[in-house]
Structure 1
Amino acid sequence: MSVPLDQIPAPHDASPLTLVEQLVQWGRRRIDERVFRPGMRMPSIRKLAIDKGVSRFTVVEAYERLVAHGYLDSRRGSGFYVRDRVVSAANAVGASGAAAQSEPVQSAIDVVWLLRNMLHTASPEKGPGLGYLPGRWLDGELITNALRSMSRLSGAQMLGFGTPQGFLPLRQQLQTRLAELEIGASEQQLVLVSGITQAIDLIARLYVKPGDAVIVGDPAWFQMFGRFASQGARLVGMPYTPDGPDLDALETLVATWRPKMLIINSVLHNPTGTSLTAAQAFRILQLAQQYDFIVVEDDVYGDLCPTGYPATRLASLDQLKRVIFLGSFSKTLAANLRVGYVAASADVAKALADQKMLVGMTSPELNERVVYKVLTEGHYRRHVERLRTRLDGVRDKTARMLERTGLRLFTTPEAGMFLWADAGVDSDGLAAAGHEAGFLLTPGSLFSPQQSPTTWMRFNIANCGDPALPALIEGHLEKVARRGVSADDGDRTARR
């Protein structure tokens, strides 16, 4: 596939570089930033020459230099392609529901491009692809007041190492919160961690061996793919429908691959926004019992789910016998607090706490004390209600805006922060065009366990307010249409 272009200095610009050098610099920068990703086809020599206002000879020379430097491959009769310059020994393995009977295809898991840009995007309005709420939506005073309260503690209380399972008063407070979700957990069944990411890491280290099959959503949260791939797992993709996971496909997958575990957002799934019904949750647990696999339930978006919302937690049905339940406060309080928790059977919780000591001793008790103060001073519930109200206020508006630009929504959830939309063209190209215009967009390939090209893309409804966004999307779709690129390429359709 071809990729959109930015502008390089024109010949009359006072640049010390020749046109060839400018083109080489442009190409290297875009490849290093992962705008042009491994396997992507570079623009044709003729097209790049026209777009940049240079001769074909200049483009050929620049491309050949990029080949010499290891950035591109030249394929006779086909063109120039971005070379995969880093090949991991722990490549990910995946399978789609449609190909459940075949061996998953090896695929390097690469999410560095998105992570790097997430951490450097200055304006949330320019970050429709970000996975967190903008700072102006959050309540810094909650954190400030908690820190002020902690400043009155004696210094000696802050000098200890902490405990492997985490700050006891916070674990006791979490018992109460889980009981409201009808999940029974003693303090010995809770382990505090530095966010969901660390929880996934500990679980992977403890339970997954090279060659084990792990079922993940297709699409699903991208960051865990790399963690399981580095552990040598075979990632198997479970397709989604507008009503949630495709459970018929899941049954075929577990019968075929006999997985070690399934990882799932049961409430407000990232990126589709779907949630499990009680019937779906019950069937998943039946399959887990029949085929003897662990279920890891990631409830990171659970606090954005209003009371009475039709969704079922697997842990509330299973009571932590086979389910490992994960929660976090990064989406509702502050991304950099890095306080999450694991609820599991007592044996599993002890094993995870032991693994946590081996990896990093204890999690920062200071952060855990801050969260404890926020939860117990009585303002957190009202804060979360305000977040839900703000999301409700922009969800329909954002959905209609995306539809007006020509995108098609997978579904329109009634809660949460994400919309999953079909652009009808390869979303890698749209993300690259956004990058050139200063927007961070997340292409659907990042949410695929195989990083398969797709027409789908995730949008954070809290970060879609920039008035230039619709024009960017419409302009790119029109440009692709003029080039005659088909929007019906079967290899690039969403997993449904």
Structure 2
Amino acid sequence: MTNTARIKSLPPAAVPTTLPLLSRESGDSLVDQIVRTVQSRIDDKLLRTGARMPSIRQFADLHGVSRFTVVEAYDRLVAQGFLESRRGSGFFVRERSPVANPSMTGTVLSAAGHNPSGDGTPQPQQLDVVWLVRNMFRQMPAQKMPGGGLLPPDWLDGDLIANGLRAVGRQNQSLLLSYGTPQGFLPLRQQLQLKLAELEISAAPEQILMTSGVTQGLDIVARHFLRPGDVIFVDDPAWFLMFGSFAAMGAKVVGIPRLADGPDIAKLAELAALHKPRLYVINSVLHNPTSTSLSAAKAFQILRIAEEHDFTIVEDDIYCDMHAGNAGAGAGGQAATRIAALDQLHRVIYLGGFSKTLSANLRVGFIATSPDLARHLADRKMLSTLTTTEIGERVVYKILSEGHYRKHTERLRNRLNGVRDKVVRQLERVGLSTGTATSNGMFVWADAGRDTSVLTEKAMAQGFLLAPGSLFSPNQLPSTKMRINVASMTDPAIWRFLDEELGR
């Protein structure tokens, strides 16, 4: 049960025109929902310093909640420094100390694509990488996050995870109370050897290192190879979290234009000769954010350029199991090409994981590489985090080894296939171009024909999280593109918003 309140009696600066929805069916209390939503609106500058909040009576009447609920919520917000109570006047948004967002080697990642003027003029809200990541972790419902990077929880199999956890809990309890092994749970690494063999990648268990997701895998590899001043290549567009992480290590991040079948080979060769990079991080299959995949011809050319200019390729294959071509004959999809299959882990480091298909909360990923490098990376992992959590690794092993995973991923692919075309057609109807839309994966790289950072700010005011194209490029320039998660386009309100803003 939800209701939407509109405020007409208060000044426009006091509160947004449309207040957020409150749900009595949510697992969170009404007090928690009110507190969390007001906090986020203050953080996002949708409620400005000094703005007057609705009175306790007004808020209670408009939202159909008790005054005691509003009193408790306001009291919490005052205690946490978000609001202040002025006797006889009401509650007001309190001035908060500004927290600087990390910059990338001196460049502010702003929605406008340039540095603040520095002349004291108020700047628009910055939509940087930290902004998007912070909002992705606000536990918003999936249908409110069409720019998010995960499948909705109801698409995944919570029972599968719960059963695995119960089975692990019934094992020898001493195994749950001590460290795991530095390289990770051996039976899982043996199972991954079989999984990689299906992709025509040969890797013995000693060549596989378990990580806390692909994110940690990238961090371990980058810290092993990079020194301040080194150059690292990424696709442009690409997964945004890498840019700030690599720049924080002192590396120079250079984007390689991504085309429908892989990188622009001529540009890659030109920039490789100019910069002599240490690493090139690439999604070969179901590239984030476009869901395009590498052609076999491009894979051979990338490997040839890497050998010529002596750099290492880091192949991030986190979306591996969403590609129909991985499922064998009759799966209804063109086979996907991995550079690691051509190179057999000599010059290529292969990364994979299960956060997109099983559970982001398990944080189970892995690195596959040469035996010598695997040992060095395991040592680096121990120096930073000792070991990864073996409980999650045992759960994933159970799911893989008992055959549940193959059936689960087949269901995910079928469900994505059932919604993708419909979403693409509807995006076209409301004014977005989807020329690069593919027949696999969860993302559409759509062109709005206007600056999507501005569109994102408007959507956020309506309670929706979009992912503007500027955040997916290392140069952070304004972009007309944005990433759409086809599994999260279920709320009629987001379609109305897009139609009103973009409808031709």
TM-score per shorter chain, which class?
0.7 to 0.9
1:270 aligns with 2:288: yes
CA contact (8 A) 1:121 1:127 kept: no
The letter for the 1-side match of 2:490 is G
**Is residue 316 from structure 1 mapped to residue 316 from structure 2 by the alignment?**
no
Verify the 8 A CA contact 1:192 1:342 in the aligned structure 2: yes
- CA displacement at 1:8 relative to structure 2: 10
TM-score, with structure 1 as normaliser? 0.78
Structure 2 residue identity aligned to 1:353: A
C-alpha distance 299-86 of structure 1, shift in aligned 2 (>3 A): closer
User: 1 CA distance for matches of 2:468 and 2:258?
Assistant: 17
Deviation at 1:135, TM superposition (A): 0.8
State whether residues 188 and 394 of structure 2, in contact with CA within 8 Å, keep that contact through their aligned partners in structure 1: yes
Aligned mates of 2:388, 2:14 — CA distance in 1: 48
Once the 2 structures are TM-superposed, how far is the Cα of residue 256 of structure 1 from its aligned partner? 1.4
Q: Partner residue of 1:63?
A: none
Q: CA deviation at 1:277?
A: 1.2
Asked which structure has the greater RCO (Cα within 8 Å, sep 6+), the reply is 1
Q: Contact 1:162/1:364 (CA < 8 Å) preserved in 2?
A: yes
Distance change in 2, residues 1:232/1:30 (3 Å): farther
Question: Which of the residues 476, 483, 488 maps onto 1:451?
Answer: 476
2:414 matches 1:423: no
Task: After TM superposition, list the pairs within 5 Å mapping 1:348-359 onto structure 2.
Answer: 348-359=373-384
Change (3 A) 1:464 1:142: same
Number of the residue aligned with 1:225: 243
Letter in structure 2 aligned against 1:349: A
Helix, strand or coil: the match of 1:325? strand
Deviates more, 1:454-463 or 1:308-317: 308-317
Matched, 1:140 2:138: no
Q: How does 1:282-293 map to 2 (within 5 A)?
A: 282-293=300-311
Q: Deviations over 1:325-378 (max 9, x none)?
A: 000000000111100000001111111111111111000011111111111121
SS at the partner of 1:408?
A: coil
Q: Which residue of 1 aligns with 2:260?
A: 242
Determine if contact 2:432/2:502 at 8 Å carries over to the other structure. no
Q: Distance in 1 between matches of 2:232 and 2:420?
A: 33
From 141, 159, 162, the counterpart of 1:123: 141
Contact 1:428 1:453 in 2 (8 A): yes
One-letter amino acid of the structure 2 residue matched with residue 476 of structure 1:
E
Output the amino acid matched with 1:180: E
Pick closer, same or farther for the CA change 1:248–1:411 going to 2, 3 Å: same
One-letter code of the match for 1:357? M
CA distance in 1, matches of 2:423, 2:351: 29
CA-CA distance at 1:121 after TM superposition: 3.9
Q: What CA distance in whole angstroms lies between the structure 1 residues aligned with 2:222 and 2:153? A: 31
Matches within 5 A, 1:210-221: 210-221=228-239
**1:119-167 deviations in whole A, cap 9, x for unaligned?**
1243211211110101111111111111121122121122221111001
Quickly say closer, same or farther: Cα 1:410–1:242, change in 2 above 3 A.
farther
Relative to the length of structure 2, the TM-score reads 0.77
Runs of 5+ in structure 2 lacking a partner? 20-38, 48-94, 117-125, 328-332
Alpha-carbon distance in 2 for matches of 1:460, 1:19: 33
Which residue identity lines up with residue 408 of structure 1 in the other structure? S
Residues 103 and 244 of structure 2 are in contact (CA less than 8 Å); yes or no, is this contact kept in structure 1?
no
CA distance in 1, matches of 2:181, 2:154: 34
Match of 1:150 in 2: 168
Contact 1:272 1:410 in 2 (8 A): no
3-state secondary structure, aligned to 2:253:
strand
Local SS of the residue matching 1:409 = coil
Q: Where does residue 184 of structure 2 map in the other structure? A: 166
Match of 2:315 among 273, 286, 297: 297
Q: Determine helix, strand or coil for the equivalent of 2:291.
A: coil
Unaligned runs of 5+ in 1: 1-6, 37-67, 72-83, 95-104, 482-496
User: Deviation at 1:415?
Assistant: 0.7
Q: Deviations over 1:166-202 (max 9, x none)?
A: 0111001100100111101111110000001101111
Q: Compute the displacement of 1:92 (Å).
A: 6.2
The percent identity for this pair of structures is 52
Deviates more, 1:344-353 or 1:300-309: 300-309
Q: Distance in 2 between matches of 1:136 and 1:405?
A: 27
Post-superposition shift, 1:88?
Answer: 4.0
Cα distance in 2 for partners of 1:463, 1:197 equals 23
Q: Is the 8 A contact 1:275 1:311 kept in 2?
A: yes
Find the partner of 1:33 among 25, 44, 54.
Answer: 44
Could you say what the CA RMSD is over the residues aligned between the two structures, in angstroms? 2.9
Number of equivalent positions: 415
Structure 2: distance between partners of 1:233 and 1:106: 20
Change (3 A) 1:35 1:290: farther
Q: What is the letter of the counterpart of residue 136 of structure 2?
A: M
Q: Would you say the 8 A contact 1:427–1:444 is kept in 2?
A: yes
Q: Deviations along 1:471-494, whole A, 9 cap, x unmatched? A: 21121236xx9xxxxxxxxxxxxx
